[in-house]
Chains A and B, each alone.
Chain A
Amino acid sequence: MIVSRRLAAGRIALFLGVAGITIIQGIASVASKSQRWSGHWANSSVVIGWAGVWGACIAAGATALILAAPRSRGYDDLLRASSRSQARIHLAGLVTVAAGSLAGYTVVTGYVAAATATSATHGGLDIIELLPTAASVPLAVGIGALFGRLAPPRIAPVAAAVAPYLIYMAVVYAEAYSGQIAYMDLLWTDQVDRTYLRLPAELLVSRAVLWMMLGVALLGLSLHASRLAYASAVVASLSAAVALLSVGTRIEVPAAYAAACSGEQPRVCVDRAHDHILPEYQREIVTSVQPVQGLELSTMVVVMDEHLAAPGADLPGSGPDARRVIVPIVKRNTSPAHEIDSATLTANVGFALFLAPCMARPTAADDVGLTTAAALYHWWLTSHGLPTDGTNFPGEPSLDSILIENEEAARTAGSFVRLVEEERQEWFSESTESVLTCTAVPAR
């Protein structure tokens, strides 16, 4: 009775340990890239797989730990002499690890679903996208069992914990060094953005079956269940064949490109894949253009990318002749992101209003319009408390360098700062057209 109670306590500790670490690392992994999925169901369904990169290592290490325990503690001979099969002896421990890992992924799924449900406007969790992550559990248990039985007992848990990551990175390296996009499609998790693209369902299902059956085969091999190992290996081979037929295939989602616009001024438009951030995008744009109140913005439509800025793009409520200003949504290393970074967006608004028109036409270094634009953008950044060294978003020019090289721009920036609020508003209301066409003459 005492033994069974201690055994049960040990199993509960193992379950909680595996589940707890899986949850912590899973939530940390997906939360650190929230700009890639928050509010978008298709991407939210995929990101749970990112928890499976380190999650597989945890399950494999825990499995190796319990399977190597008889050898490291010196009672392996007793188990070998038992009338029960090896599979039956270790079944409870293996099920505990698998259940802990699955419980961890379930909580991570719950976190992602809760975060997305608050803002998503359409769609739902894609169960098929979750299958490869679930399949990584038997794979990790199989790898752990193999190392737990064969590797030196003291080093078995660490070797097993490292192994799934090595497999993952070996495929990443194979893809990087071969230049093929196919290899990572075979893994139990991938980095393909689902905003405008989908992966075929047969690929997702076949790769899930491949990794699950490979795990079962390794498990069978480790526990002397040779028939199970053989049958699983055959199914895994067939699944690999099916998966290889569809690797590299991408299905475009045309509906994701459709425009969704707000009715307020200034008008803003995003595509349907980002319509969950439309109210916040509108709010941020309105807030950031407060300092340029004299600027006439009623004829302008703020759009999030070049696709919506193209003359042929249909923007509901706006005519084809409306001036389209691109203010991209950038957060960390993602554009278009599914979350808004307020500071980056403000810098992008200033760039779109003042400097972007100069990029649309050929300009010389001493062009008066360009000089004024640089001075205005410098004023914009400093008035919003943003850095002027070109670090607000990728591709931003360094205003510090420009003002050092162009003394006229530095003088213009200085004189613009010295204007009182009313003078600045008056100048903007007189110069709207010239500012938006990069032909403005500096205020004196």
Chain B
Amino acid sequence: MVQRVNRVGSDLHGRSGPVSRPHRTSAVFALRAFAMARGVTVRGLVGYLLIWLFIAAASRFTVSATGLQFAPPGSAALDTVAVILLLLPAGVLAGTLTSRTPHLEATRSRSSQPAHAIWVVGITGVGLLSPWLASPLVHPSIDMVAFFTTWCTVLGLWWAIARIGPTVLALSCTFIVLAGFSTPGLVPWHLNIVYNVEIGGSAALVATTALGSGTILQALLSPPPTRGSVGRCRRAGRPAGRR
């Protein structure tokens, strides 16, 4: 069926026969080039997996040595170390959202926005899948809803702020939020969506809002490096050129 559709599509473009192998290979090459232009490397992927392994290992410790030992399955929140470590994969994923070759992409004949939006949605999918892939290694007494919502909140917050301001602001704000929730006595317990597993509904609402707004902001707003480079050209008195 797919071949038929392809054939029809090809005929419409004045070509005959199904999509040829070199054509498909070039699409893979384009995708690879697109990913590599966003800093995706084999080493980076291995590093990302290792970070999740590290988080899963950290989930097996608490300040109380007997904390997880006697806790019923799914009744405990992550300890602070695992929560703070979530900043690392969030930073890695956020690093893949901006192009390293903005000038090159600015010369495309078509707008880069649709491809960028699809890429952001794809990376969001990777972000959503990651904690589920790590879940078999996480301690059984950890509440998976709390684990998942905390991760989504961290990711969404970072992405939303990174699109509005510089990366360092995103790191600082996300870190401050997690540190605030992790400092005993600072956030009232009935509002502590990171460590209080009793308020999973509120935590899920916050996580959905954070990740939803982060993804939308990342997908719809044009990437800042491109804007910045064009701005710099204008400031230097040179025409920015047609985009």
Which residues of A are at the interface with B, using a C-beta cutoff of 8 A?
Answer: 21, 24-25, 28-29, 32-33, 54, 57, 61, 65, 152, 154-155, 157-159, 161-162, 165-166, 169, 172-173, 176-177, 179, 332-333
Whether A28 pairs with B186 at a CB distance below 8 angstroms is yes
A166 contact from B39, B65, B81, B171, Cβ within 8 A: B81
Cβ contacts under 8 Å, A32 to chain B:
183-186
Whether A155 pairs with B95 at a CB distance below 8 angstroms is yes
Whether A157 pairs with B171 at a CB distance below 8 angstroms is yes
Within 8 A of A (CB), among B160-174: 167-168, 171-172
A136 nearest CB across to chain B (Å): 16
The docked-state distance in angstroms from the alpha carbon of A332 to that of B184 is 11
A379 nearest CB across to chain B (Å): 29
- Indicate whether A61 sits within 8 Å of B185 (C-beta atoms), given known contacts A159-B88, A165-B81: no
- Indicate whether A173 sits within 8 Å of B87 (C-beta atoms), given known contacts A29-B183, A157-B168, A158-B171: no
Whether B63 pairs with A154 at a CB distance below 8 angstroms is no
Whether B87 pairs with A176 at a CB distance below 8 angstroms is no
The docked-state distance in angstroms from the alpha carbon of A161 to that of B179 is 11
A/B interface sample: 22 pairs, CB < 8 A: A21-B176, A25-B179, A28-B180, A28-B183, A28-B186, A29-B186, A33-B184, A54-B179, A54-B183, A57-B175, A154-B39, A155-B95, A157-B167, A158-B87, A161-B87, A161-B171, A161-B175, A162-B85, A172-B63, A176-B62, A176-B65, A333-B185
Whether B84 pairs with A162 at a CB distance below 8 angstroms is yes
Q: B78-116: contact bitstring with A at CB < 8 Å (1 yes, 0 no)?
A: 001100110110011001000000000000000000000
Check if B64 is an interface residue, CB within 8 A of chain A: yes
Cβ contacts under 8 Å, B85 to chain A:
162, 166
Chain B residue nearest to A165 in the complex (CB): B84
Whether B91 pairs with A154 at a CB distance below 8 angstroms is yes
A113 nearest CB across to chain B (Å): 21
The docked-state distance in angstroms from the alpha carbon of A159 to that of B90 is 11
Interface magnitude class on chain B: 20 to 34
Check if B34 is an interface residue, CB within 8 A of chain A: no
The docked-state distance in angstroms from the alpha carbon of A93 to that of B172 is 19
The docked-state distance in angstroms from the alpha carbon of A29 to that of B180 is 9
Check if B148 is an interface residue, CB within 8 A of chain A: no
Count of chain A to chain B residue pairs whose CB atoms are closer than 8 Å in the complex: 72
The docked-state distance in angstroms from the alpha carbon of A152 to that of B45 is 13
The docked-state distance in angstroms from the alpha carbon of A225 to that of B171 is 30
Cβ contacts under 8 Å, A161 to chain B:
87, 171, 175
Chain B residue nearest to A65 in the complex (CB): B168
Chain A residue nearest to B48 in the complex (CB): A155
Chain B residue nearest to A166 in the complex (CB): B81
A72 nearest CB across to chain B (Å): 9
Closest 3 CB pairs of A and B: A32-B185, A158-B91, A154-B95
The docked-state distance in angstroms from the alpha carbon of A152 to that of B40 is 12
Within 8 A of A (CB), among B172-209: 172, 175-176, 179-180, 183-186
Q: B55-85: contact bitstring with A at CB < 8 Å (1 yes, 0 no)?
A: 0000001111100000000000000110011
Whether B176 pairs with A25 at a CB distance below 8 angstroms is yes
Chain A residue nearest to B170 in the complex (CB): A158
Cβ contacts under 8 Å, B84 to chain A:
162, 165-166
Main secondary structure of the interface of A (DSSP, over half): helix
The docked-state distance in angstroms from the alpha carbon of A234 to that of B91 is 36
Whether A155 pairs with B91 at a CB distance below 8 angstroms is yes
- Indicate whether A155 sits within 8 Å of B92 (C-beta atoms), given known contacts A28-B180, A29-B186: yes
Best-buried of A29, A54, A158, A173 by chain B (most CB within 10 Å):
A158
Cβ contacts under 8 Å, B62 to chain A:
176
The docked-state distance in angstroms from the alpha carbon of A249 to that of B175 is 35
Cβ contacts under 8 Å, B80 to chain A:
165, 169
Best-buried of B61, B81, B85, B175 by chain A (most CB within 10 Å):
B175
Cβ contacts under 8 Å, B95 to chain A:
154-155
Other A-B pairs beyond A32-B185, A176-B63, 14, CB < 8 Å: A21-B172, A21-B176, A28-B186, A33-B184, A155-B91, A155-B92, A157-B168, A157-B171, A158-B91, A161-B87, A176-B65, A177-B61, A177-B65, A332-B185
Whether A173 pairs with B186 at a CB distance below 8 angstroms is no
Cβ contacts under 8 Å, A333 to chain B:
185
Cβ contacts under 8 Å, B186 to chain A:
28-29, 32
Cβ contacts under 8 Å, B172 to chain A:
21, 61
Best-buried of A28, A155, A159, A333 by chain B (most CB within 10 Å):
A155
Cβ contacts under 8 Å, A162 to chain B:
84-85, 87-88
The docked-state distance in angstroms from the alpha carbon of A32 to that of B167 is 29
Cβ contacts under 8 Å, A21 to chain B:
172, 176
Cβ contacts under 8 Å, B175 to chain A:
57, 61, 158, 161
Cβ contacts under 8 Å, B92 to chain A:
155
Cβ contacts under 8 Å, A25 to chain B:
176, 179
The docked-state distance in angstroms from the alpha carbon of A161 to that of B158 is 15
The docked-state distance in angstroms from the alpha carbon of A25 to that of B65 is 28
B63 contact from A28, A33, A57, A173, Cβ within 8 A: A173
Chain A residue nearest to B64 in the complex (CB): A176
Chain A residue nearest to B82 in the complex (CB): A169
Whether A173 pairs with B61 at a CB distance below 8 angstroms is yes
The docked-state distance in angstroms from the alpha carbon of A159 to that of B185 is 26
The docked-state distance in angstroms from the alpha carbon of A173 to that of B185 is 21
Chain B residue nearest to A153 in the complex (CB): B95
The docked-state distance in angstroms from the alpha carbon of A157 to that of B162 is 14
Cβ contacts under 8 Å, A332 to chain B:
185
Cβ contacts under 8 Å, A173 to chain B:
61, 63, 81
Cβ contacts under 8 Å, A152 to chain B:
44, 47
B123 nearest CB across to chain A (Å): 14
A22 nearest CB across to chain B (Å): 11
